[in-house]
Amino acid sequence: MDLEKKLEILADSAKYDASCASSGSDRGGAGGTGAAHLSGVCHSWTADGRCISLLKILMTNECVYDCAYCVNRRTNDTPKAILTPDEIAGLTFEFYKRNYIEGLFLSSGITVSPDRTMELMLEAVRKLRQVFRFNGYVHMKVIPGADQALIDQAGLWADRVSVNIELPTDKSLRLLAPGKTKETVLGPMSRLAQKISASKDERRSIKSSPAFAPAGQSTQLIIGATPETDREIIKLSEALYGKMCLKRVYYSAFVPVTKDSRLPALLSPPLLREHRLYQADWLLRFYGFKADELLDEKHPTLDLSFDPKTVWALNNLHLFPLEVNKASYEEILRAPGIGVTSAKRILRARRTAPLSLDDLKKLGVVMKRAVYFVTAGGKYGGLKKETGEAIKIKLLEHKNPNGQLDLFGEKELVKEGLAGTVTGQL
Amino acid sequence: MKTFLYDGCFEGFLTALSLALDSGDACAISKENAEEAGLFSEFINAGTDQQRAATARDLIERRGSAESWQHIRFAFLSEVPGAETAIFEYVKLLLEKGPAADNMLADDRVKKVHGLSAKVGGEAHRFKGFVRFKELADKTLYSKIEPDHNILALLVPHFRARLGTFNWVIHDARRNNAALYFNGKLVYAPLAAALILEDAKEAEVRKLWKHFFKTAAIAERVNPKLQRQNVPLKYRKNLTEFDK
């Protein structure tokens, strides 16, 4: 099989992994080729609008497991290929020096055994680092079930490491991934978490000690293949960010790639739901929200019509409107239409002079949403009687300014959701 | 109204800026031969005075901050018509208010210059990803770019850090200017057209990359609008993967 065919097969099977980040590491130095960029660099965007920053490939798509959702399952009758460590290192280097990519994302199906698979992957990355003296970004998948010593090596060669949870509960794992359990996934993840935090502590006192996965670890959850609620998912993410110190949780709308009676028959991947989950995830990480504030047992599902911050604000109207000239940063962040950047700008700009509603617009606040939730110098630009329902109708009119308000507004909403899909960048 | 004309280089602009500040009147600053130079203006050739330029920089950094200086440098590189006069208005505000001027984000003078600076910084970051090298027969890496703003000098340190062991050329074909990096030394030189002799392996690697690019898209998620937002059409002609 020629290299082009192999690349096609192994890129095709790797593309369902949503992680694309090349951020969080500032590797580099004298001699050798390449460096990592702390904020990451996107190099291109494919026809689905997702960014390419790494050469994302599997080492092999052979697999001893038979996970129902996975394109590489043992019983799936697709052509199989394997790249040698030399081919992986060589291809990465050729692409890198042309500035096609920031580095390598190496994952794999499980060939022979988890240990053997991990050894081959490590050999590829070792070659890249030692023979090619490559200082660019490397993201390595850790193979569940591999020996601890091999997992530890991955952290020494790679910038970022990850183990995919894929299915949010043990029950779903048992149903769709008979070879895996919660323990086989969470075991290596917590091992990595320990090593990462230990290396961070050590490097604080001894700068020259080796970095262990300096860009941290991430994971992925498949959305819509199993019946978990948004609340279960977001609670899980919150725990992963807290207990496992994860850098990122990626959400991947389920694309039915294999036929299996245990899987739902979806007409299209639940992209809008995926988008709302990313928004909720952002609220956890950058906006100081707790999962319980966004969803509770009575309301376990994210609203598809409104972003989760707007829903929260409408349920907490007693806290609004906020006076932007007085409110704290944390409070301002909670107003719909104001993001991290515009909240910081508000704080900076109000130091020299009090702000008016017009000023807010100039600072980049999305006034069509924020107008119902803020005052500036006592002035309020929203409705006279701001009930939640009235604001909802106004907000929906903005989404549907020309036509009549169709009650579900689905077409418009889907469009909005897709145009803004946060595919996992940053 | 007086319009101070400069030759297009940054020191020339700073000279004009300094003269405009000294004149105390309502002034404009414009590149020689620029279309926006008004008809009813009194034109004064500023020339380039290194001493004046250095004094102007010193004044900005003293009254403003390192941040103000960076905004001015970046806004100048935008090459957007009117940028020079916008910088002049901003500097007058800096002299009046000091470093606090940079907090006045809702003030149109500040917003204008900060906005231009953000545009330039944004495009420079984008091009850290969008530069595409070809390997030539003599193993030099060659890249042609046509950015909206004059970002070449902002890209160079980035590529120097990662491709320091190679020889390379980044050619801004829109401004006929190139950064040439050979044996660890960097020079800028005017370059109109480059004669390219590709390495024998080049076409093969390019094919692999284009193949990878096509394969990496998920058919069920195709979204050309989102793709256009991220890779505007104007940038695609120099991106290998969008070659027909």
* pLDDT, tens digit, 9 for 90 and up, residues A316-373: 999 999 999 999 999 999 999 999 999 999 999 999 999 999 999 999 999 999 999 9
Please, which residues have CB within 8 angstroms of residue B194's CB and are 6 or more apart in sequence? B142, B144, B169, B171, B178
Q: Which residues of A touch B208 (CB under 8 A)?
A: 3-4, 7, 91, 94-95
Residue A78's pLDDT is 87
Assign B162 to helix, strand or coil: helix
Which residue, chain included where needed, has tokens 């909240």? Answer: A343
Distance of CA B68 to the CA centre of its chain: 17
| Higher per-residue pLDDT: A382 or A335 | A335
Please report, for chain B, how many H helices and E strands are present, in that order. Answer: 8, 8
Please identify among residues 110-129 of chain B the ones whose CB lies closer than 8 Å to any CB of chain A: 111, 125, 128-129
Q: How far apart are CA A255 and CA B220, in angstroms?
A: 7
* pLDDT, tens digit, 9 for 90 and up, residues B30-81: 998 766 556 677 889 999 999 999 999 999 999 999 999 999 999 999 999 9
Q: Is B98 left (phi over 0), alpha (psi -120 to 50) or beta?
A: left
Residue A421's pLDDT is 39
Give the mean model confidence (pLDDT) for residues A129-145: 95
Q: Does A28 touch chain B (CB under 8 A)?
A: yes
Give me the domains of chain A, ranges plus CATH numbers.
Answer: 3-294 (3.20.20.70), 308-407 (no CATH)
pLDDT band at A411 (very low <50, low <70, confident <90, very high): very low
Q: How far apart are CA A22 and CA A426, in angstroms?
A: 8
Residue A420's pLDDT is 40
Residue B198 distance to chain A (closest CA, Å): 13
Which residue in A222, A85, A217 sits closest to A140, CA to CA? A217
Q: Does B38 touch chain A (CB under 8 A)?
A: no
Please identify among residues 383-422 of chain A the ones whose CB lies closer than 8 Å to any CB of chain B: 418-419, 421
Encoded tokens for B108: 């149109």
Q: Which residues of A touch B165 (CB under 8 A)?
A: 31-33
Q: Where are the beta strands (DSSP E) in chain B?
A: 2-6, 27-31, 42-45, 134-135, 141-145, 168-172, 177-182, 185-190
Buried-exposed string B63-84: b where 16+ CB fall within 10 A, e elsewhere = bbbeebeebbbbbbbbbbeebb
Which of these ranges, A154-158, A404-408, B200-204, B215-219, has the smallest mean pLDDT? A404-408
- ipTM for this model: 0.94
Residue A30's pLDDT is 65
Please identify among residues 172-211 of chain B the ones whose CB lies closer than 8 Å to any CB of chain A: 205, 207-209, 211
Q: Which residues of B touch A100 (CB under 8 A)?
A: 132, 209, 240-241
Residue A415's pLDDT is 43
Which of these ranges, A19-28, A331-340, B91-100, B107-116, has the smallest mean pLDDT? A19-28
pLDDT band at A117 (very low <50, low <70, confident <90, very high): very high
A403: phi then psi, degrees, rounded to nearest 5 = -75, 180
